[in-house]
Amino acid sequence: MKIVLLAALVSFVLTLILGRFVLAELRKLKAGQEIRQDGPTWHNAKAGTPTMGGIMFILGAGVTVLVLGWQSMLAGDVTHLYVYLFALVFGLIGFVDDFRKVKQHQNEGLTAKQKFVLQLLAAVIFLSLMRYEGLLSNDLYLPFFNVSFTINWIVYLVFAAFVIVGCVNAVNLTDGIDGLAGSVTAVTCVFFLAAGLLAELTTLSLFASALLGGLLAFVVGYNHHPAKCFMGDTGSLFLGGAVAAMAFALDMPLVLIPVGIVYILETLSDIIQVVYFKATHGKRFFKMAPLHHHLEKCGWSEWKIVGVFSAVTAVCSALAWLGIQGRF
């Protein structure tokens, strides 16, 4: 328990320190964010803000996990390493996407098809590796009902791969205003930290704690409104991969429904907007999608949106915690 809590502190300090150097380098590289043309007009003032800041907490959490989790790895427990490396692959996909945007000075990097194929491939490899290591079953657990049912492995693999890709892109979609994705994901990390301890998966809790500390440092030091730096796709895809990987490491992917409720609502708002727009030949269901932009249009400040969305995540995570008590 002590080493799990220490991980948050170490990662927090490391991320704060590393952030100063990362931010300086990003400014030298002129890695400024290009603002989407169809986004809120008031976001134009954020143009040029350094992006790819997710490197800060990726490094902070990574160093912490490797150093504090070294003894566990020597003992054969590598859950935290698998989860981190899986998230890192998604972070690298995001980095390539960000780098191309910065280099080309536009808001589009990799094509949607390129990102989808890379993400799907990463998901299949991760799931197959977890299965091979005996860390993942093809039993689907239903939180709150405390029942599991077994499905064919190939069917499970396809289902799980699309859940992961969906989760990754939902987190990416949530990263639209200062501090939002980082704050919401920090709350989900608290859930996975506690769930890991409940399941006696200490190294999973170690990873969740390290990511929690890194995210708190990033949000407090660099990403709260008005942001000094954005996490970019580098950070948001890493976070999406991390959240999905922690759920599968617990062998409870359906827990993502309550824990990731904000990600789901953000994604649904975008889908509803597109479908309604096409069905009504140009009318909009929301003032702007995804949901956080709609609320901005309704007069909500960025601080209020971050606070409310984080609180909703906390409440739903608490309910999810109650819903898995019969599992272990």
227 found inside a domain: yes
67 found inside a domain: yes
Enter the pTM of the model: 0.94
> Tokens 């077994």, residue?
150
Closest CA to 196 of 255, 146, 236, 138: 255
143 found inside a domain: yes
pLDDT at residue 45 tops 80: no
Half-sphere exposure of residue 21, counting CA atoms within 13 Å on the CB side?
A: 9
Tell me how many domains the chain contains. Answer: 1
187 found inside a domain: yes
* Rounded Cα distance, 19 and 39, in Å: 28
> What was the pLDDT predicted at 105?
64
Please write the tens of the pLDDT for every residue from 248-277.
999 999 999 999 999 999 999 999 999 999
Q: What angle do CA 118, 102, 269 make, to 5 degrees?
A: 60
* Domain with 29 in it: 2-255
Please write the tens of the pLDDT for every residue from 181-206.
999 999 999 999 999 999 999 999 99
Q: What angle do CA 143, 80, 213 make, to 5 degrees?
A: 90
> What was the pLDDT predicted at 311?
98
13 found inside a domain: yes
> What was the pLDDT predicted at 209?
98
261 found inside a domain: no
189 found inside a domain: yes
296 found inside a domain: no
pLDDT at residue 36 tops 60: no
